[in-house]
Amino acid sequence: MNWIQGLLIASIFALVVFLLRSRRSVQSQAWVKVGFLAFMFAGVYAVLRPNDTTVVAHWLGVDRGADLMLYALIVAFGFSTLNTYLRFKDLELRYARLARAIALEGAQSPE
């Protein structure tokens, strides 16, 4: 197995475990922001010196920097999809509880 394969699979599992275990604590929100900042800096650097991504790609056993970016994008997309799904489920539950409170307020007895 290539280095990149191990790395990608490990990151996918890490993201899933992190997301499923996260209870939206203050720390996890902070880490998301830290991760985003790191992403921004890495992005700016990659734009300024595109050939460096190829160097990194070679370290990891990938031929081209562009391929490495694509793999990273796939993982990031999976992360964001799962995150959105869980957020929606959470919102759905709050919404149901709100609607329930309204419904119970207006309950009617027969006669």
Partner 1 sequence: MTGEMSHVWIVVPAFNEAGVIGDVITDLRSIFANVVCVDDGSADDTGDVALRAGAHLVQHPVNLGQGAAIQTGVEYARSQPGAQVFVTFDADGQHRVADVVAMIGRLAAGDADIIIGTRFGPGVSRPPLLKRVVLQTAAWLSPRGRRLGLTDTNNGLRVFNKTVADRLDITMNGMSHATEFIMLIDENRWRVAEQPVEVLYTEYSSAKGQPLLNGVNIIVDGFLRGRMPR
Tell me the closest approach of the beta carbon of residue 109 to partner 1, in angstroms.
5
- For residue 86, state whether it binds partner 1 (rule: CB under 8 A): yes
- Cβ-in-10-Å burial (0-12, 13-18, 19+) of 54 comes to middle
Measure the CA–CA gap between 76 and 62, rounded to whole angstroms: 18
Q: Which stretch binds partner 1 (CB under 8 A): 29-37, 54-62, 64-72, 98-106?
A: 98-106
Q: Please give the DSSP secondary-structure letter assigned to residue 19.
A: H
Can you give the binding site for partner 1, defined by CB under 8 A?
20-21, 23-24, 86, 89-90, 92-93, 95-96, 99-100, 102-104, 106-110
